[in-house]
Amino acid sequence: MAESEIVDLLAVFSDLEPAADAIEHLRSIGVHDDCMNVISGVPVTEAMLGRPSQWTNVPRIAMGGAILGFCGGVFLTYVAPFLYPYPIQVSSQAFVPGPPTVVVLFELTMLGMLLSTFLGVFLDSFFPNYRPMKYVPEVSDGKIAVLIECSHVEEQKVTDVLKKMGAESVRPSEAQHL
């Protein structure tokens, strides 16, 4: 086996606190945050583990959807009435009435933001993913798994640190079809 070969180690922890301590200790021995991935059955924020927050495009996509929805509302309220061949005048009311216009603008803005947020989260999470993924069945039982990519030379040092920090098991991982 070549010394520069990358090995994926999978450590299983019974609780979140030992996993967070292990991540902090791995960081102190030189394992970068990009080389660690937390697999959990429950949502775990980056702050809970002391990791840097991840960058996402979802807010930008949501804002784009809100702007498109607002533009659609403007079209329906201000442009569409002028497309009729014979304008419809209702009593002394303005040709484009104010209160219904506000409702239509608000609803279409929110609809555009809601749909684009859903689409953004869907695309940002790479769902569906048909590639083999690394997974541990114990995660479904409430355990926390930490996937570490390290070189073959550091494998023993990382394994020793993880076991010292309370890992129930540390083993090489392999990708499986879920």
Asked if 146 and 23 touch (Cβ cutoff 8 Å), the reply is yes
Q: 123: phi > 0 → left, psi -120 to 50 → alpha, else beta; which?
A: alpha
**Top-confidence range, 48-62, 73-87, 99-113:** 99-113
pLDDT value of position 134: 67
Q: Is the pLDDT of residue 1 over 50?
A: no
Domain 6-54+133-172 has CATH 3.30.1330.10: no
Choice between 168 and 5, residue whose per-residue pLDDT is larger: 168
Domain span(s) for CATH 3.30.70.120 in the chain: 6-54+133-172
Q: Quick one: tokens of 47? A: 């702050």
Cα dihedral value 132, 136, 137, 141, nearest 10: -140
Q: Which amino acid belongs to residue 143? A: K
Query: What is the end-to-end Cα distance of the chain in Å, rounded?
Result: 28
Mean pLDDT across the chain: 84
% pLDDT > 90, the chain: 23
Kindly report, residue by residue over 33-56, the tens digit of the pLDDT: 888 888 888 887 777 777 777 788
Mean pLDDT of 146-161: 82
Distances from the Cα of 7 to the Cα of 131, 136, 144, 147, 150, angstroms: 19, 17, 20, 10, 5
Q: Is the pLDDT of residue 77 over 60?
A: yes
pLDDT value of position 177: 55
Q: Is the pLDDT of residue 105 over 80?
A: yes
Q: Which amino acid belongs to residue 114? A: L
Distances from the Cα of 162 to the Cα of 8, 101, 115, 142, 167, angstroms: 13, 61, 42, 19, 6
Choice between 78 and 127, residue whose per-residue pLDDT is larger: 78
Q: How confident is the model at residue 104 (pLDDT cuts 50, 70, 90)?
A: very high
Mean pLDDT of 62-89: 91
